[in-house]
Amino acid sequence: MTGQTLRITEKFLSIQGESTHAGRLCYFIRLAGCNLQCAYCDTSYSRQFDAGKEETLKSLVAAARDSGVKLVEITGGEPLAQSNTPELCRMLVENGFEVLVETNGAFDISVLRPEVTRIIDCKTPSSGEADQMRWDNYRHLTHKDELKFVLSNRLDYEYALNIIRQYRVAEKTQNIIFSTVWTSLPPEQLAEWMIQDRPPARMQLQLHKYIWGPDKKGV
């Protein structure tokens, strides 16, 4: 990759389906390439680093401006696997956008400026990638950042509770999210566990999948 570019698989305007911003109009910029191979990955078409095409940072900011909304999420793939992602975030912030970056937690989140909301998707045992997490990231969490756990089973749930306790996450951010793997954990089961244990987290379903179905891209 040369110059001020990023490799992009898709850009689109949609309803934010996850995070504490669920339900809001959001412009998504999906980057190509991921260092992990999660068992429950639902964007495998963005996993390869040669997927999509290169686009300039300037053109990405212009596309976000043309979308007509001020909330932008940079996702992937793994956005922090590309070195120009922090610069794109800087440009978006300086152009008045509210910026979210969803990262798998294996890269240093401190490279992102403080105006950016960092959403760490902490990998649980069923992902097969839990041992790839960069735990030092948890000391960088602020009140606006978010920590998401995608849960397939009871083991994942207990793992999430332990991570929250071990790293005292609730002292740093109240934005802790439990989400179910679409085909594995019935939502009512997770709800029952949370009612019983009262974790400092909110339950979330992937809104976009309920609107358009689990396999549709660009929504």
Residue-range domains of the chain with CATH: 5-209 (3.20.20.70)
The pLDDT assigned to 137 comes to 97
The token duo for 203 is 């339950």
The token duo for 139 is 């000391």
The pLDDT assigned to 2 comes to 47
Q: How far apart are the first and last CA of the chain?
A: 27
Other beta carbons within 10 Å of 162 = 10
Contact 181, 151 (CB under 8 A): yes
Comparing CA positions, the residue from 126, 133, 119, 132 lying closest to residue 181 is 126
Q: What are the helix and strand counts (H, E) for the chain?
A: 5, 9
DSSP secondary-structure letter at 125? G
Contacts of 122 (CB under 8 A, 6+ apart): 105, 133, 147, 148, 149, 160, 163
Predicted TM-score (pTM) above 0.85: yes
Measure the CA–CA gap between 14 and 122, rounded to whole angstroms.
24
Q: From first to last of its 219 residues, what are the pLDDT tens digits of the chain?
A: 446 999 999 999 999 988 999 999 999 999 999 999 999 888 889 999 999 999 999 999 999 999 999 999 999 999 999 999 999 999 999 999 999 999 999 999 999 999 999 999 999 999 999 999 999 999 999 999 999 999 999 999 999 999 999 999 999 999 999 999 978 899 999 999 999 999 999 999 977 777 777 666 765
